[in-house]
A = this chain, B = another copy of it.
Amino acid sequence: MTRRTIIVKRDVQAKGKANAAAERERLGRRGTLVINILSSPGAGKTTLLEATARHFAGRRTMAVLVGDLETDRDAQRLAPLVPTVQLTTGGACHLELPLVQQGLTALGDPAVDFLFIENVGNLVCPASHDLAEHLRVVLVSTTEGDDKPGKYPKMFRTSQAMVITKTDLLPYLPFSVDAVTEDARQIQPQLDVLSLSALHESGVSDWCEYLEQQYQRQLAAYHEPAAK
């Protein structure tokens, strides 16, 4: 019976993987870059998305799916700026693709340039779930300490970019940008590293420029001419 259970689990995982790949292909082909944003609770995902929405206003279209166990607090913050749907997991520690797809349908499946998925605040469970993203970004707040990558390696191993947030607090904290970068790159040598303070809007334009590059690269990969 144990053996049968394992096989069932494998089938489910294989099907989930295929679904994520198909959804990624569909969204990429029509020109939407999907970005899965992950971090500890309170590292600044929503604040970064607010700043990102302000930066791209009138230049790029975007929408946000935001995940939490309970409440629609993050959606309330983002909705004045950008089309947003709150996904509540009802206790689960991460988002899964079917819930993301329901959220996308609720948004009207818009052909935006950027679709951001703000995952549940958690450095463990969300690392194991493919949400059809093209880009996985992990945020590390300066206030969390520079020892986090080695302690939560899967999150950093599966990410393409690390964004160091709350750099305005660096003068008051025992945190080294070099140390956290070195620690993360021991796990994932190709990791792109950015740092910013979204609250003080410092480094946000570099972050948006990075997103723009990723967007253009994806358009090129699908052999479509760059829009706009």
A: residues with CB less than 8 A from B are: 40-43, 68-71, 73, 91, 93, 120-125, 141, 143-145, 147-148, 150-154, 166, 168-169, 172-174, 199
Closest Cβ of chain B to A129, distance in Å, is 13
Pairwise interchain contact B143-A166, C-beta atoms closer than 8 A: yes
CB contacts (< 8 Å) of A71 on chain B: these are 147, 150-151
- Which of B42, B73, B91, B145 is within 8 Å of A144, CB to CB? B42
CB contacts (< 8 Å) of A174 on chain B: these are 199
CB contacts (< 8 Å) of A93 on chain B: these are 93, 122, 124-125
CB contacts (< 8 Å) of A141 on chain B: these are 42, 143
- Which of B73, B148, B199 is within 8 Å of A42, CB to CB? B148
- What are 29 A-B pairs with beta-carbon distances under 8 A? A40-B40, A40-B41, A40-B42, A41-B144, A41-B148, A41-B151, A43-B144, A69-B152, A69-B153, A69-B154, A70-B151, A70-B152, A70-B153, A71-B150, A71-B151, A73-B147, A73-B151, A91-B124, A93-B93, A93-B122, A93-B125, A121-B151, A121-B152, A122-B122, A125-B125, A141-B143, A143-B144, A168-B172, A169-B173
Pairwise interchain contact A121-B40, C-beta atoms closer than 8 A: yes
Q: How far is the CA of A60 from the CA of B228 in the complex (A)?
A: 68
Closest Cβ of chain B to A45, distance in Å, is 11
The 5 closest A-B pairs by CB, nearest first: A42-B144, A143-B143, A93-B124, A40-B41, A40-B40
Chain B residue nearest to A68 in the complex (CB): B151
